[in-house]
Amino acid sequence: MTDVLRVEGLSTRFFTEQGQVNAVEDVSFTIESGEVFGVVGESGSGKSVTALSIVDLVENPGKVTDGEIWYRHPELAERAREAYDEEAVDGEYVDLLQLPERERRALRGPDFGMIFQDPMSSLNPSVSVGEQIAEAVEVQRRAEANPRATRSRTQGYGLGSLFTDALLPTKSYVSEESRSRAIELLDLVGIPDPEERYDEYPHQFSGGMLQRAMVAQALAGEPDVLIADEPTTALDVTIQAQILDLLSELQEERGMSVMLITHNLGVIARMADRVGVMYAGEIAERGTLADVFEENVHPYTKGLLGSIPDLDDPAPRLNPIEGNVPSLLDSEMGGGCYFADRCPKAMEECLEKPPEFACEDGSDEHAAKCYLADHEYDEATALPDDYFTGDSDE
C-alpha cells in the first residue's frame, strides 16, 4: 500500500512562563492509504498535540519546532515544485511544514478532516447544528471556485456568486446547495429525520447524535485523511459501538485513511490496522495490531494491556501502572528513558535515552524505544526500587 502521510521527527513545544513544555518529541510514523492508524496512550502523552501539529492548529504559545510532514498530493507537489523551495517536494509528496500558511490552511477540509474530542465545546450553541455543517460545506464550495481537483460534489461557487454576495450582504452565507448537502451528511451519519434536525441546536441533540454531527462536519470537504480525536469519549458503550461502526463503514466506503486517537485499547483492537503507543510525547512502541497486542516489548505497552480486565477470567486483580505521566517541562524531564521511574524492569542503561530498536518478534515494522528490545533484562544492573524516590528502608 502507498503511504498517504509520512511524519518524520516531529517535535512540538509550548513556550510558557513556567518553561518549555516538550509536548511532542521526535515522533515518526506513516499512515497508509485506506488504513486506520491508531494512536494510544494515557492522557497527557501527546496524542492530540501530534494531531493538531499535522493540521497546523497548534495555538500560541505552541509551535512545531522540528520535523517533516510529507503528504502525498501530486497536484500540490507540482505547484510547490515551481513556486517554493525544491526541498519541500519529494516526488508526489509535499512537506507541509515548508508550505506557506495559506497553502496549509487550504488543505483543511478537502484533504484533512478532524473530529474533535468534545462536540459540546466544538459546536456553537447559538447556531443550529445543520447550519454549522452547511457552513463547512459552503466554505469548501467557495474555496473550490477555482478547483484544483474535480472530485468534490460541493463545487459550484463562481464569480457570479461572488458578485451576488457582495451586492446583497443580507443574503444568507449558506447556499441552498450547501444546505441540501448538509442534510445529506446528517442522513449519511445516521441522524433520523435530518431535515427537521437541521434546524435544531446542539443542546437538543443527545451525546451520540452530537458526535455523529461532528463526523458529518468533518466529512463536509470529503477528506483523504480523517483524524478522529477520542471520538467515543463520554459516550455509553452502546453509543460507542454505534460511532465505531459508523466510522468503519465510512472509512471502507470512501477509502479514507484514518488516524484514530484514543486511550481505549479496546477501541484500538477493534478499529486499527497499525498502532503507535505514545508516552511523554514519544512513540514508545509501534507496529501492527498483532505486534502491539501479542509481541509487545515495551514495559509501558505491557502495563497498558495489564490494566485491562479479562472478561473470560475476571477473578485476577488488575495490575495498574504505578505513578503518573511525568512533567513535560524541559527542565524536569531528564535525559534518560521517560518511563524508567515507573518501569518494573528499569536498568542502569535506562538512565541514558534509548534509541528506537527494531524488535526481533513480530513484523518488520515492529520497533520500540526500549533497551529490552535490544537485549534481555539483567537483574545485576537493575535499579533499586527507591532509586527515583530517594526513599530508603533504613
> Are the beta carbons of 45 and 6 closer than 8 angstroms?
no
- Tell me how far apart the 2 most distant CA atoms of the chain are, in Å: 84
- Residue 113 domain-assigned? no
Closest alpha carbon to 143 in 181, 179, 105, 98: 105
Q: What is the pLDDT of residue 152?
A: 41
Indicate whether 131 belongs to any domain.
yes
- Flag whether 193 is in a domain: yes
Distance CA 267, CA 233 (A): 11
Number of H helices and E strands in the chain, helices first, is: 14, 13
Per-residue pLDDT, 307:
84
Helix (H, G, I), strand (E, B) or coil at 90: strand
Structure confidence at residue 164 (pLDDT): 53
Residues in CB range of 278: below 8 A, 6 or more apart: 27, 39, 40, 41, 45, 46, 47, 50, 284
Domain region containing 127: 118-222
Residue 174 domain flag: yes
Q: Is residue 185 part of a domain?
A: yes
Is position 320 within any domain? no
Q: Give me the average pLDDT of each 10-residue run along the chain (394 residues).
A: 94 96 96 96 94 95 97 93 88 95 90 88 91 90 57 46 51 82 93 95 92 92 93 84 91 92 92 96 97 96 87 74 89 92 95 95 95 95 88 50
CA–CA distance, 157 with 310 (Å, rounded to integer): 55
| Dihedral over Cα of 293, 298, 302, 307: its sign | negative
Report yes or no on 217 lying in a domain. Answer: yes
Contact by Cβ (8 Å): 3, 32: yes
Please state, in angstroms and rounded to a whole number, the distance separating the CA atoms of residues 355 and 366.
Answer: 14
- Alpha-carbon distance values, 66 to 28, 56, 164, 273 (Å): 12, 13, 45, 27
Matching residue, cell 515522533: 27
Give the dihedral of Cα atoms 248, 132, 63, 356; nearest 10 deg.
Answer: 0
Query: pTM, whole model, 2 decimals?
Result: 0.88
In the chain, where does DSSP find H-type helix? 47-54, 74-83, 101-106, 119-122, 129-143, 159-167, 176-188, 194-197, 207-218, 237-254, 265-271, 289-294, 299-306, 330-333
Name the grid cell of 170. Answer: 443580507
pLDDT for res 373:
96
**Residue 205 belongs to some domain of the structure:** yes
Q: Which residues make Cβ contacts (< 8 Å) with residue 219, sequence separation at least 6?
A: 113, 185, 188, 189, 226, 250
DSSP lists the bridge partners of residue 278 as 283
Q: What's the total number of domains in the chain? A: 1
What pLDDT is stored for residue 157 in this prediction?
Answer: 46
Do 115 and 231 contact (CB within 8 A), yes or no? Answer: yes
